[in-house]
Amino acid sequence: MDSRGCRPPARRWPCTALESHRAATALVAAASTTYDAALAAYRNGVGTVDVATEADTALLDARQAQAEAHAGALIGAVNLAFVVGSLTSRESLP
């Protein structure tokens, strides 16, 4: 494990929900660039509608992955708050 408690670099899996979200955000950026290029190529007559549609589908998939990663991070935060007692405390919040 490294200093963050993650597995060795041989396993390239994201270590935390926040890293998953960062990776999904990077995927959205890449898919968006691909979609823009495919659409521009189609509009200029050098690309096909099939390629533009595939790029659009990939962008939607990337956005879905980003939303799922965001939800995972929020669920993790709520679980942590519950475990440490912040959600079940009778004390009022400041």
Token pair in block for residue 12: 């390239």
- H, E, C per residue of 16-74: CHHHHHHHHHHHHHHHHHHHHHHHHHHHCCCCCHHHHHHHHHHHHHHHHHHHHHHHHHH
The first and second tokens of residue 56, run together, are 């659009």
The closest alpha carbon to 18, from 6, 8, 9, 10, belongs to: 6
Asked whether 92 and 39 are in contact (CB, 8 A), the reply is no
The residue range of the domain holding 74 is 51-89
Examine residue 12 and state whether it is found in any structural domain, yes or no.
no
pLDDT in tens, the chain (94 residues): 455 555 555 555 446 888 889 999 999 999 999 999 999 999 999 999 999 999 999 999 999 999 999 999 888 888 888 888 877 766 655 5
pTM of the predicted model over 0.85: no
| 8 domain residue, yes or no | no
Assigned domain for 23 exists = no
